[in-house]
Amino acid sequence: MKSISIDFIKQNNVDQLIPLCALHSEYERVPFDPKGKEESLTHNLFKENPALFCLVAMKDQEMLGYASYMIQFSTWDACPYIYMDCLYLLEHCRGFGIGQQLMERIAEEAQKLKITEIQWQTPTFNTRAIKFYDRTGGKSKSKKRYFLEVL
């Protein structure tokens, strides 16, 4: 695919992110409620010290995919790392290297911050993503992720 740009999301594009989040959620077989998402994402992406960063793949003003990440800290390693929360591309955009471009851009941002590691996860049934991540040189650790609702 030609003329794809990879850059940080703009505030006026957050509305395009919500449908991609919904598709990503559906792909990973979890429910998604769009209520309040645009406001929360806008606030957390664009506040003075953002809780989240989001890179988007755009072509002719259309958002084709996104990768979101945050900076976290490892007690064991005593250093920061980037946790890539999401990487998603519209189905017809997969296989053209756009995911690789998004990963490379996150790596560039990590290098600017002197961060030496990126971590992420994917469901075990997502074999296509697992093959992609293996090709990037990523290494997998077997862990089980838990969720605890505190409300």
Domains along the chain with CATH numbers: 5-135 (3.40.630.30)
Buried b (16+ CB within 10 A) or exposed e, 38-77: eeebbeebeeeeeebbbbbbbeeeebbbbbbbebeeeeee
Read off the pTM. Answer: 0.89
Q: Which residue has the higher pLDDT, 66 or 140?
A: 66
pLDDT above 90 covers a percentage of the chain that reads 77
Residue range 99-128: mean pLDDT, rounded: 92
Q: Do residues 28 and 126 make contact, with C-beta atoms less than 8 angstroms apart?
A: yes
Q: What is the DSSP string of 35-56?
A: TTHHHHHHHHHHSSS-S-EEEE
Does the pLDDT of residue 35 top 70, yes or no?
yes
Mean pLDDT over 73-88 rounds to 95
What integer pLDDT is reported at residue 127 of this predicted model?
A: 84
**Alpha-carbon gap, residue 48 to 91, rounded angstroms:** 34
Is the confidence at residue 103, as pLDDT, over 90? yes
Q: How confident is the model at residue 148 (pLDDT cuts 50, 70, 90)?
A: low
